[in-house]
Amino acid sequence: MKMSQKVMSALVGTVLTIGVASNAQATTWDMPTPYPDKTFHTQNISQFAADVDAATKGALKIKIHSAGSLFKHPEIKNAVRGGQVPIGEFFLSRLSNEHAVFGADSQPFLATNYDDAAKLWAAQKEVVAKLLDKQGLMPLFSVPWPPQGLYTKKEINTVDDLKGIKFRAYNATLETFANNVGAAPTQVEVPDIPQAFATGRVEAMITSPSTGANSKAWDFVTHYTDIQAWLPKNIVVVSKKAFRKLDKPVQDALLKAAADAEARGWDMSKKETAEKTKIMADNGVIIVTPAAELMTGLQAVGEKMLGDWKKAAGAEGEALLSNYK
Ligand code: PCA
């Protein structure tokens, strides 16, 4: 099966090369992402793909496969690593099971605004690149989601109010956080959020105003408490092997488009925060400034988790934190 697929794609490749004789170098890269088309991250990578196309005069085309349609979220990193696809986007902190430093941006209340998130990324970048390099991967760019807030079906004034609630999680850190506040976490991917609420699998979640508004949170929750707990990031990685196969000018164009995408993505993210919070308010979600008691309680959980994270992240984690501070 594998072999015949290879032969097939070699044949298809030959036909395509003959077909575009004017540009014998034309390459198309399939790029999986877990997130739907209307997500600002997906819009940003669409622009990235258009920029690469334009800058290379069509020599490198990137075809985006959104919403987990080509590979499911948990498979994307290994699909790039294994050479099934040359490039992909995923949620960086999902790799925290490999090394805790990947999860720095999901530590509750470590970096809660864009300036701190930028400092954290600056401190994190090198060690992330080093760890990915060992797997034959190279990061191209990374963009944060807006600050993470709390979505519930009732007013939440203290940590105790979260006890026993079925809670949607998107990584191990959020799962731990939910467990620490006495909630019951379940992993649910973004495209499945409305369904998970509709069927009662989950009753609450922590995510950005982007994902809340895009999921039409007003259909299934009443309150959005703006706790600004952390700004987790997506990362786009490329296989080094695929990268090396590109001509130097194409490589340079790709890196330039990636740098532009990172800058543009951070700006888009900042804009999203207010825009998407307003959309939720306009649709009847009650936007709540968190009670002091709730914040104190959540921050205490964050402190405890940071202690555990430091132990797990070892020397790399220590270096990261001291760079950050
Ligand atoms: N949206 C994604 C990741 C963080 C965010 O804001 C999600 O909810 O899975």
- pLDDT tens sequence across 195-250: 999 999 999 999 999 999 999 999 999 999 999 999 999 999 999 999 999 999 99
Phi, psi of 167 (to 5 degrees): -120, 130
Cβ–ligand 1 distance for 208 under 6 Å, the answer yes
Parallel, antiparallel, or unpaired: how do β-strands 87-91 and 137-144 relate? unpaired
Q: Mind listing the pLDDT tens digit for each residue in 23-63?
A: 556 999 999 999 999 999 999 999 999 999 999 999 999 99
Q: What percentage of the chain exceeds 70 in pLDDT?
A: 92
* 147 three-state secondary structure: coil
**Of 3-17, 27-41, 74-88, 133-147, which range is least confident?**
3-17
In a domain, 19, yes or no: no
What is the pLDDT, as a whole number, of residue 13?
Answer: 46
In a domain, 6, yes or no: no
What is the pLDDT, as a whole number, of residue 20?
Answer: 41
In a domain, 2, yes or no: no
Ligand 1 atom nearest the C-alpha of 170 is 9
Does residue 6 have a pLDDT over 90?
no
CATH number at residue 44: 3.40.190.170
Cβ–ligand 1 distance for 207 under 6 Å, the answer yes
In a domain, 298, yes or no: yes
Residue with tokens 């922590």: 206
Cα of 325 vs centre of ligand 1, distance in Å, is 26
Ligand 1, atom 8: closest residue by C-alpha: 207
Residue 120 structural domain: 26-324
What is the pLDDT, as a whole number, of residue 5?
Answer: 53
Tell me what the pLDDT averaged over the chain comes to. Answer: 94
114 CB contacts (<8 Å, ≥6 apart)?
144, 231, 266, 269, 270
Confidence of residue 14 (pLDDT cuts 50, 70, 90): very low
What is the pLDDT, as a whole number, of residue 89?
Answer: 98
Cβ–ligand 1 distance for 211 under 6 Å, the answer yes
Q: How far apart are CA 132 and CA 237, in angstroms?
A: 9
Structure-token pair, residue 62? 């990137």
Does residue 15 have a pLDDT over 60?
no
Q: How far apart are CA 247 and CA 8, in angstroms?
A: 25
Cβ–ligand 1 distance for 214 under 6 Å, the answer no
In a domain, 202, yes or no: yes
Ligand 1 atom nearest the C-alpha of 34 is 9
Q: Provide the domain count of the chain.
A: 1
What is the pLDDT, as a whole number, of residue 16?
Answer: 45
Q: Mind listing the pLDDT tens digit for each residue in 89-107?
A: 999 999 999 999 999 999 9
In a domain, 73, yes or no: yes
What is the pLDDT, as a whole number, of residue 9?
Answer: 52
Could you tell me the pTM of the whole model? 0.92
Cβ–ligand 1 distance for 151 under 6 Å, the answer no
Supply the DSSP symbol for 121.
H
Q: What percentage of the chain exceeds 90 in pLDDT?
A: 92
Cα of 171 vs centre of ligand 1, distance in Å, is 10
> Measured in whole angstroms, how far is the alpha carbon of residue 65 from the centre of its chain?
15
What is the pLDDT, as a whole number, of residue 232?
Answer: 98
Does residue 278 have a pLDDT over 70?
yes
